Amino acid sequence: MKIEGAFKADMTGFRMSYTKSSNLRLAHVQVTLGCDAAATEKLFGDELAILAFGAMRTEGGEEGDTESKSTRFGYSSMKPDMVCAHHLLAIDDDDNLKIQPSICSITPVDGEEKVNVVVEFPISVGDNVELTGRLATKFKKQISVKLEATQMPLPFVVTKAGAFGNPEPRVVG
């Protein structure tokens, strides 16, 4: 799945993670974006739009009468199992950040034909404390985001039996 375009969104989550074995430091930036069906399809594609708005039902209300109209979704929140392609990310002044975003959740907005989509951007920051600081100071603020899909291949994931016969995914390649 590709996320294409530029938009303004609220940064609603920020956390850091560190993997000792690979010495990898990641800043996990979460943004929440309110979208109607058309905006969801334009930004995220028709797969996510169908998933988010396929269960929406509008009842009552005649033309021009919005007060007696009610909008309901067949879910209260969902976490789609969709893999995004690699993207180049630009957040405000920081650009050319290579990431593989993930859709964390989709939540309907009560009484409206809109959903809130939470997207996470795992950004490799390494030892760059300036970048980490700039990202951390944008928490709970509106930021400008620009995403552009790249042609980088996705890693090949192999599942093998681990301890106790449970599957254990390994990234190869």
Token pair, residue 85, equals: 């392609």
Strand boundaries in 68-166, DSSP class E? 70-72, 87-91, 94-99, 102-108, 115-124, 142-149, 156-161
Parse the chain into domains and list their residue ranges: 5-172
Query: What pLDDT score does 31 carry?
Result: 95
Query: What pLDDT score does 22 carry?
Result: 84
Block mean pLDDT (10 aa), the chain, length 173 = 88 92 90 94 91 84 66 88 84 84 92 92 90 90 89 52 58 49
Residues 115, 74: Cα–Cα separation, whole Å: 12
Query: What pLDDT score does 173 carry?
Result: 45
